[in-house]
Amino acid sequence: MHHDLVIRGGTVIDGRGVPAFRADIAVDSGHIVAVGALEDAAGEREVDASGLIVAPGFIDVHTHDDRALLDGDMAAKASQGVTTVVAGNCGVSLAPFRPDGRPPPPMDLLGGEGDYRFPTFASYLEALDARCPVVNGLFLVGHQTLRVQHVEDLERPADATEIAAMRAGVEQAMQAGAVGVSTGLFYPPSRAAPTDEVVALAEAAAPWGGLYATHMRDEGTYLEESVAESLEIGRRAGVAVVLSHHKASGVANHGKTARSLPMVEAAAAEQQVSLDVYPYAMSSTVLLPDRLAESTRVLVTWSAPYPEVAGRDLSDIAAEHGVSDEEMALRLLPAGAIYFAMSEDDVQRVLRFPHAMIGSDGLPHDPRPHPRLWGTFPRVLGHYSRTLGLMPLEEAVRRMTSLPADRFGLDGRGVIEAGAVADLCLFDPETVIDRASFENPMTPADGIHVVFVAGEAVWEDGATTGARPGRALRRARPIPAR
């Protein structure tokens, strides 16, 4: 038999968590057509995978790649074996939004003036269709994106008219193919939104089988209350829940994931709830001068008025200027930062949690990004699975593939079997490791050999190939709420 692509002699980890096995893989027209001993098969292209793991391409469930998919080469993700990203997280989606001038923080995570340019969710997806991204994208519509446009005074709850306008935005996005709605209740533009406002928005996604993904109101002092609120929103609106980048933030709150995870586990018997995590004890977002006290160290990732300070400690910059850290933070705005505010014990406890998916939360437009942007997936495989033995390699791969495919309705992805889309990652299990550090955050990982999207190589020999076989994915089926 002649095929477009034959991958020979690899060890297959099929994504379901079952033990690895030896098999060849044949691909035609972007799909896997055979898995097994394929001695008689010949390929237009043949790849020798001996000594390598052949896994489904990884699904990065928590990203801010809305604009990077359009404008970027996605090397940060392709280099890790990621073939699908979920964007529109933390309440921040690039569409629908076309502001005059600079968008307010944290909307500026995705770009500055002129970068938000899509008046409708459908027009954004169509632009992606026309551009063809390097990897696939699946999209949430953001509550903050809708709130900054429709709520007159962000310091108060939305009134009935404003809620109706935001619900119409959710409905249009769902109609266009969004997978659900996200919030970032922690951030100033949505802090004043009460639970009822969010339920109203999530309800608007429910008839389409959309899900609710949330950067919760509080990930520190009120972690458990915030988990309870998120679960309540899912139950009342009748939608599945994804808790974003689960963590316990602030020295006083270390250890609290030992209480939040059992809440999630107990709720999972009644409703569909999952969470994602990135494998680092440091967080990163916009610079928030009123949140400095939680962290033992704050690194500046960018600053509009002081671009030269990117990559430096806030305390050092403040000392040079002879002002307090808070005052310096105010002077640097708008800006971004990395916060040293978590404990390694909590990170490992969340990583071990069986419903935990992997999401990088990388910020692709930061000039000195958190290393999670380039390092998340190889770090889980190399550091947490191989070196620390937190979980077997097959289980680590399951958290990156079939589990998120199931939770986000990506049927036909996240597994290696005949009929599945040929999104594949070939990596060396002995050498795979993240190389991105705080000093050199934009460094590709080691050990990721070839990455295929729909049977076309997008990452090979340590570089992107220039191919753009990715798709703007539309929600394929309703996500069950329980």
Residues forming the site for Zn ion (CB under 5 A): 90, 215
Question: Cβ 109 to Zn ion, closest distance in Å?
Answer: 9
Residue 33 C-beta: closest distance to Zn ion, Å = 39
Report in angstroms the alpha-carbon separations of 304 from 92, 308, 425: 20, 9, 37
82 or 140: CB nearest Zn ion? 140
Question: In 192-322, which ranges are E strands?
Answer: 211-215, 240-243, 273-277, 282-286, 298-303
CA 21 – CA 37 distance, rounded (Å)? 11
Among 79, 89, 214, 260, binds Cu ion (CB under 5 A): 89
Beta strand pairing call for 136-142 and 82-87: parallel
What is the smallest separation between the CB atom of 108 and Zn ion, expressed in angstroms? 14
The residue among 187 and 384 lying less far from Cu ion, judged by its C-beta, is 187
Query: Are 245 and 260 in contact, with CB atoms under 8 Å apart?
Result: no
Q: With CB under 5 A as the contact rule, which of the stretches 86-94, 146-154, 249-257, 462-470 interacts with Cu ion?
A: 86-94
**Site mask, Cu ion, residues 347-376, x = CB under 5 A?**
--------------x---------------
- Comparing CB distances to Zn ion, the nearer of 32 and 241 is 241
- Among 87-95, 133-141, 259-267, 382-390, the segment contacting Cu ion (CB under 5 A): 87-95
User: How many angstroms separate the CA atoms of 65 and 48, rounded?
Assistant: 32
By a kind-dependent CB cut-off of 5 to 8 A, residue 8 interacts, out of Zn ion, Cu ion, none, with none
Phi, psi for 49 (deg, rounded to 5): -105, 20
Nearer to Zn ion (CB atom), residue 106 or residue 169 = 106
434 binds Cu ion (CB under 5 A): no
**Judged by CB under 5 A, does residue 464 bind Cu ion?**
no
Cβ partners under 8 Å of residue 122, min gap 6: 172, 175, 176
Is the CB of residue 412 less than 8 Å from the CB of residue 419? Answer: yes
Which does residue 254 touch among Cu ion, Zn ion, none (CB within 5 to 8 A, set by kind)?
A: none
Which of 27, 107 has the CB closer to Cu ion?
107
Judged by beta carbon, residue 247 or residue 254, the one nearer Zn ion is: 247
319: which residues sit within 8 A by CB, 6+ positions away?
none
90 binds Cu ion (CB under 5 A): yes
Q: Phi-psi category of 11—alpha, beta or left, where left has phi over 0 and alpha has psi -120 to 50?
A: beta
Q: Which residues sit at the interface with Cu ion, rule CB under 5 A?
A: 89-90, 361
